[in-house]
Amino acid sequence: MTAQPTWPILKSLLFALDPEQAHSLTLALLRVWSAFLARRLDPSDPARDPQLKREYLGLHFPNPIGLAAGLDKDGVAIPAWQALGFGFIEVGTVTALPQPGNPQPRLFRFPKEEALVNRMGFNNAGAAALARRLQRLRARGLPEVPLGVNLGKSKIVPLAQAATDYRQGFEAIAELADYVVVNISSPNTPGLRDLQGGDEIRRILDAIQTPNQRLSRPRPLLVKLAPDLSDTQAIACAQAALGSGAAGLILTNTTHRIDLLQDAPSGLTGGLSGRPLFRRSTELLRQLRAALGPEPLLIGVGGILEPAEAIAKFAAGADLIQLYTGLIYRGPGLVRRLLQALKTQDIAP
């Protein structure tokens, strides 16, 4: 399937709306579509070409392009993401407690630079609500691609109790997830990024490992980092995470460097994503692969809008990649365009 011929029309309609309204409308439509999608996917679908498949963390990825966290926080449209060709899907960030997020407006487009700034603040219905939805979905045998759940800290919980909060979130969703991400890198929850210190990440992962090791199949844990750490800080944090049993890292979240936008309105706060993030997120990925060696799983995310950028992420050391802002500017056909390019490049797993 290709959404491309209709994309320019759809984009101009969506871009006429306020960014958050456009997001809610799109998600509502994908949610309706999801209800009608059959369980089995067509094996002749090019997104399932055997050349594209990967095996990591004991999971089978039909292709290496995933949906990044934040677009479908509550996991309402998982079958639709799978049908659009994604080889894995990450839902969340969810928090142990439901929360409304920051006051609106909290999402801003910068079309000339193909960028977004957001300060959503983990608006989500909570881990228990996500667990109920995932239970229903799993009963339908869905999704057929790996499903990650990204966990954050509930805003009202003090930083000193972060480990307990992450643990509660983990206990609610772990059995329904194929992998779990500890998100300590959103710029929009006060103090969250302070958890990227070695001691803090160890404390959180240790708290999660206790219930994790009791599962019949302990889930692989990944840690998502900010591009605003220095290379040295990021390496120290990554080593602490891997030392506490994490299987890999997601690089990177949005940057607080709003000044990377050419026309940044003064006083704008939040996290910047899209094209201006590509350089730093890719550089940090390269540094971490060099420092950590071939073993840990590294997922590259940040500023992928073209095949060349996807290829550059793999060249910098990514095993898998994820998309968010590229979908907003280039439409859902981006997934299949990138897959086609990867096939001809023959990116070795």
Ligand X SMILES: Cc1cc2nc3c(=O)[nH]c(=O)nc-3n(C[C@H](O)[C@H](O)[C@H](O)COP(=O)(O)O)c2cc1C
> Three-state secondary structure along the chain?
CCCCCCHHHHHHHHHCCCHHHHHHHHHHHHHHHHHHCCCCCCCCCHHHCHHHCEEECCEEECCCEEECCCCCCCCCCHHHHHHCCCCEEEEEEECCCCECCCCCCCEEEEHHHCEEEECCCCCECCHHHHHHHHHHHHHCCCCCCCEEEEECCCCCCCHHHHHHHHHHHHHHHHHHCCEEEEECCCCCCCCHHHHHCHHHHHHHHHHHHHHHHHCCCCCCEEEEECCCCCHHHHHHHHHHHHHCCCCEEEECCCECCHHHCCCCCCCCCCEEEEHHHHHHHHHHHHHHHHHHCCCCEEEEECCCCCHHHHHHHHHCCCCEEEECHHHHHHCCHHHHHHHHHHHHHCCCC
The smaller minimum CB distance to ligand X, of residues 26 and 118, is found at 118
The smaller minimum CB distance to ligand X, of residues 107 and 240, is found at 107
The smaller minimum CB distance to ligand X, of residues 73 and 153, is found at 73
Q: Which of 127, 155, 208, 180 is nearest to 297 (CA)?
A: 180
Residue at shortest CB range from ligand X: 70
Q: What does the radius of gyration of the chain's CA atoms come to, in whole angstroms? A: 19
Question: Hey, which residues are catalytic here?
Answer: 186
Nearest distance, CB of residue 273 and ligand X, angstroms:
3
The smaller minimum CB distance to ligand X, of residues 45 and 233, is found at 233
Nearest distance, CB of residue 38 and ligand X, angstroms:
28
Nearest distance, CB of residue 136 and ligand X, angstroms:
22
Q: Which of 212, 214, 215, 201 is nearest to 163 (CA)?
A: 201
Nearest distance, CB of residue 184 and ligand X, angstroms:
10
The smaller minimum CB distance to ligand X, of residues 79 and 274, is found at 274
The smaller minimum CB distance to ligand X, of residues 79 and 300, is found at 300
Nearest distance, CB of residue 211 and ligand X, angstroms:
21
Contact residues for ligand X, defined by CB under 6 A: 68-70, 73, 93, 107, 116, 118, 120, 122, 150, 183, 186, 224, 253-254, 273-274, 277, 301-304, 323-326
Nearest distance, CB of residue 238 and ligand X, angstroms:
16
Please provide the size of the chain in residues.
Answer: 349
In the chain the first and final C-alpha atoms are separated, in Å, by 26
Nearest distance, CB of residue 145 and ligand X, angstroms:
17
Q: Give dist(CA 42, CA 50) in Å, integer.
A: 13
The smaller minimum CB distance to ligand X, of residues 277 and 297, is found at 277
